[in-house]
Structure 1
Amino acid sequence: MRTADHRIAVGLYRTGHNRDLLEGALKLGVTDLDTAFNYRQFASHRTLAAIADDLLSAFTISTKVGYFPDGHDFTPARLRTAVEQSANELGRTPDTVLLHNPESSVGGFANACAVLMEMREAGYCKNWGVSTWDPRRLLEADWEIPRPDVAMVRAGLTVSAGILEAVDELVDRTQIAELWGMAPFAGNAADPIWQTVDTSTFLASGQHGSTLQAGVAAAFAVPRVSRLAVGTSHVDHLSEVVDGSRLEVSRETVTAYRELLRQRATVSAGAPSRKDR
């Protein structure tokens, strides 16, 4: 699986907003930023503009709307205000605006999609889409999901078979133009579990990399995504991630892995509960 279309985005969910990181990212060729209206206690956009106003034009920026101080809300008027405020605070139009965890407000999903399409037409973003941690509830909805430009989903070796299957169905049903990934290490690349997993198994013959690098390469293939948002506050760590994005994985190994996940999920679903034993 070739890596020509593999892009890394600096994910700002848990990442410190600092100029050194952004400057380092640009030097590494990382030109994607991913943030959200609610990140950094609803101050992410303002903070970015304050510390790096002169750098932001060099980045492709994606942001998300849907969370407010009082919780998740897809009321159209609030979404419109959030999109407008995002652009104003950044000092520029975001390239992509995503509905943040639409599975939390399924009842308002169709109207929320209409709002983002409207905001795109009004020039408040170039693309619109969804960022979903678990798309299964969206797929249960009794309507045709409008075609987003982008969907961002969980990626990597911690994603369950059920969610991976749901992502495949979401892509098939909506004919999404581009699929992005996030949280390749479930938010913690330093977790001791990664010292027990041989991620190099997924690399194509002749490819070599650290556990982190091989995990990043696998995340681009499980599911297949073109961009991966990774949280980090250190340029050295980001550099290792970038190197991982250039590694090739074995398509055969990924296919076998996905099949094993499906089989395991099927067995687990059919296993008798404790009270039935």
Structure 2
Amino acid sequence: MAAQSGADWLDTAPNYAAGLAEQEVSQVLARYSHVRVSTKVGFIPVPDRQEILGEGALTVSEAESGHNLSPDYVRWQVARSRRALGRIPDLVFLHNPEHNCPAEQANERLYAAFAALEQACADGEIHAYGVATWSGFSRGVFDIPTLLGAAFRAGGPGHHLRAVQLPLSLVHLAPIAQALEGKGVLADAHAAGIAVFASAPLHGGEVPGMVTRELLDLIAPDRSPAQAALSVVASAPGVRRVLLSTMKQEHWAEAVTALDGPVLSRETLKRITDVLGT
């Protein structure tokens, strides 16, 4: 549905759809060669654990933990994803590297994983890599300078760190408020040429029900609550892509209309963050 409607990017992960997501997405990619794709490494799909153990990419305890970013597993999963997708991934995100990771260990964890991903780039297994996080930035486990430092250490000035993915919505407004002041993750990413993928823009479908008539009038009175909420995220400074998930054609069409619409002014965004807080 997305590809037919003109979307040029699909984001997936090997642990989505009970471990079948990459194989299912591959059927779309085969039909729509213009669509680019990103996937992830970190969470360990249950159906793959025996194969992982058999090939020595993880120990039994590591596999049972459900999440791992060791170089051996990163290399194994990258190769597995390439086969499942039927093409070279445009981006491979480290999936929630903050998972069970104290801040003081973040640098070394990122460096080791980035080094494996840089080698994958050199070997032609992937085109680039990034970090997809839910709370890594908000908890202070890492920031853009930390990521850039690890990438430079792993790949030098020609490193392949290209993107970050994080939740942005009317529920997760802090990064947008910070960006309006020229600081924080969005501003730092933009300054470094790092693309920002906004995830969960409707917070699992909860946001539209939170939009009151007064808030809608403040954001975009001529739009639906979902469209208004999406326009806030799409208008945030530095945001390159907004990741949408829907099974209904009418929801997709509504979202596309919002994202193709006019960008909200910085003044409007500032009023929204002032009213709602962060």
Q: TM-score, normalised by structure 2?
A: 0.74
1:28-177 superposed matches below 5 A:
28-49=5-26, 51-52=27-28, 54-68=30-44, 69=46, 70=64, 71-104=66-99, 105=101, 106=106, 107-134=108-135, 135=137, 136-139=140-143, 144-146=149-151, 148-161=161-174, 165=178, 166-168=184-186, 170-171=188-189, 175-177=192-194
Contact 1:38 1:67 in 2 (8 A): yes
CA shift for structure 1 position 258: 4.0
Q: 2:231 is aligned with what amino acid? A: A
Gaps of 5+ in 1: 1-23, 266-277
Superposition map of 1:173-188 within 5 A: 175-188=192-205
Deviations 1:82-133 (A, max 9, x none): 0110010111111111111111243512211122122122112222111111
- Gapped regions of structure 2 (runs ≥ 5): 47-63, 153-160, 179-183
Contact 2:200 2:243 in 1 (8 A): yes
1:13-60, Cα deviation, whole Å (9 max, x unpaired):
xxxxxxxxxxx32332112111012111222112223x4463252311
Distance 2:176 2:18 in 1: 29
* Alpha-carbon distance, 1:177 to partner: 2.6
**Alignment length, in residue pairs?**
235
In the alignment, is the contact (CA less than 8 A) between 2:95 and 2:131 conserved in 1?
A: yes
Instruction: Note closer, same or farther for the CA distance 1:208–1:120 as it changes in structure 2 (3 Å cut).
Output: farther
Q: Secondary structure at the match of 1:80?
A: helix
Give, in angstroms, the shift of residue 81 of structure 1: 0.6
Query: Does structure 1 conserve the Cα–Cα contact (< 8 Å) formed by 2:110 and 2:147?
Result: no
Q: CA RMSD in A?
A: 2.8
Change (3 A) 1:34 1:200: farther
- Is the contact between residue 131 and residue 151 of structure 1 (CA under 8 Å) also seen in structure 2? yes
Q: What is the CA–CA distance in structure 1 between the aligned matches of 2:177 and 2:76, rounded to whole Å? A: 33
* TM-score (normalised: structure 1): 0.74
Would the alpha carbon gap of residues 256 and 45 (structure 1) be closer, same or farther in structure 2, given more than 3 Å must change?
same
Q: Kindly, what percent of the aligned residue pairs are identical?
A: 26
Structure 2 contact 227–254 (Cα < 8 Å) conserved? yes
Secondary structure at 2:25's aligned position in 1? helix
Q: Distance in 2 between matches of 1:95 and 1:214?
A: 30
Structure with more relative contact order (C-alpha pairs < 8 Å, separation 6 or more): 1
Given the superposition, is the C-alpha separation of residues 180 and 199 from structure 1 closer, same or farther in structure 2, using an over 3 Å criterion? farther
Instruction: Check whether the contact 1:200–1:211 (CA below 8 A) recurs between aligned residues.
Output: no
CA deviation after TM superposition for structure 1 residue 196, in Å: 5.9
